[in-house]
Amino acid sequence: MKLTVNGDHVEVPNSVKTVAGLLVHFELHHKVVIVERNAEILEQAKHTETLIFDKDKIELVHFVGGG
Amino acid sequence: MLKIGNHEFSSRLLLGTGKYPNFDIQKEAVDVSATEILTFSVRRMNIFEASQPNFLEKLNVSKYTLLPNTAGAKTAKEAVRIAKLAKASGLCDMIKVEVIGCQKTLLPDPVGTLKASEELLKEGFTVLPYTSDDVLLARRLEELGCHAIMPGASPIGSGQGIINPLNLSFIIEQTRVPVIVDAGIGTPSDAAIAMEMGAAGVLLNTAVSGAKDPVIMANAMRLAIEAGRLGFEAGRIPKKRYATASSPLDGMSIS
């Protein structure tokens, strides 16, 4: 499955079905990650139920230092 | 007590988390500052370097109220998106609205700030706009229902202190929600002056993170803000043109 993640084209195994699965794939599941799928911002609780499909555009954002 | 929306705080220092020499110094500075509110930004992750530690992992964030900012936004629309991303973390409902209108001065875009604040208030956020020291803009933001007004003392990271104390005093005088002086603080005395003028709090970052010793500076800022607040509550004496003796003039044996 081909996705655009943070502007980069990436290929993920077809076994990755959900947003939660994608975070496990990238080893991000223990971190605070906010996900936007095709310009829709997802609440944390939606990660498990939200399916991902070929050609989806995913944004993964997090908190960084700032004032 | 500092009350912002439904949140209450005993500390009046809001501390930024940017540009510390390292995470350990940052943690120590945050601890010493006794702050209860931490600001931070929202950015794209580098998914190819996901193992890099994040500052949130080094701090016990459950101890703090998190105040994400919309830094990086140049328009109201971008600010609203960043705010919604931050809220989707489930960790915070407060937002520091920051719509930058000029990359050289980093001064806020007043129209964009107003628009973004209005939209975010409708969405149920606790809204703290970073604004210029314009008195009427501050009034308009309060009228929208903003939960605090955060006028800059001087440009972000400039360390110039309060460059327009008159405007700041007008804003403090007219505003019923907390006025938090945000940006431009350089030294503890700048923070103390803001508090003596009646500000409800001070938000700073570079003054601590960029100091030669951020931990000592964090302590100095904590003390300055407490001292300034006490000075405000105590009520200063009026300034007089000539001296007034503090020792009694009666009963002097030599004359």
- Cβ burial B50-84 (10 Å sphere, 16+ → b, else e): beeebbbeebebeebbbbbbbbebebbebbbbbbb
Domains and CATH numbers, chain A: 2-62 (3.10.20.30)
- Which parts of chain B are beta strand (E)? 2-4, 7-9, 13-16, 37-44, 65-68, 94-97, 126-131, 150-151, 180-182, 201-204
Structural element, H or E, at residue A4: strand A2-5
Which tens digits make up the pLDDT trace of B31-49? 999 999 999 999 999 888 7
Asked whether residue B235 carries a pLDDT value surpassing 70, the answer given is yes
- Report pLDDT for B255: 57
The widest CA-to-CA distance across chain B, in whole angstroms, is 86
- Report pLDDT for B248: 87
Asked whether residue A27 carries a pLDDT value surpassing 80, the answer given is yes
B62-82: average pLDDT: 95
Residue of B nearest to A64 (CA): B41
Nearest CB to A65; choose among B19, B45, B157 = B19
Confidence of residue B53 (pLDDT cuts 50, 70, 90): confident
Cβ atoms of B4 and B94 within 8 Å: the answer is yes
Mean residue pLDDT across chain B:
94
The distance of A64 to chain B (nearest Cα, Å) reads 5
% of chain B surpassing 70 pLDDT:
99
What residues in B contact A61, CB-CB < 8 Å?
42-45, 85
Quick check: A66 and B40 CB within 8 A?
yes
Quick check: A67 and B44 CB within 8 A?
no
Q: Cβ of A39 under 8 Å from any chain B Cβ?
A: no
Tell how far CA B253 is from the center of its chain. Answer: 55
Residue of B nearest to A61 (CA): B44
Positions of B marked catalytic: 96
pTM of the predicted model, to two decimals? Answer: 0.92
Asked whether residue B84 carries a pLDDT value surpassing 80, the answer given is yes
Above 0.90 for ipTM, yes or no?
A: yes
Tell me the two tokens of residue A34: 């906010």
Residue of A nearest to B16 (CA): A67
Cβ atoms of B88 and A45 within 8 Å: the answer is no
Which tens digits make up the pLDDT trace of B115-153? 999 999 999 999 999 999 999 999 999 999 999 999 999
Cβ atoms of A49 and A18 within 8 Å: the answer is yes
Cβ atoms of B97 and B126 within 8 Å: the answer is no
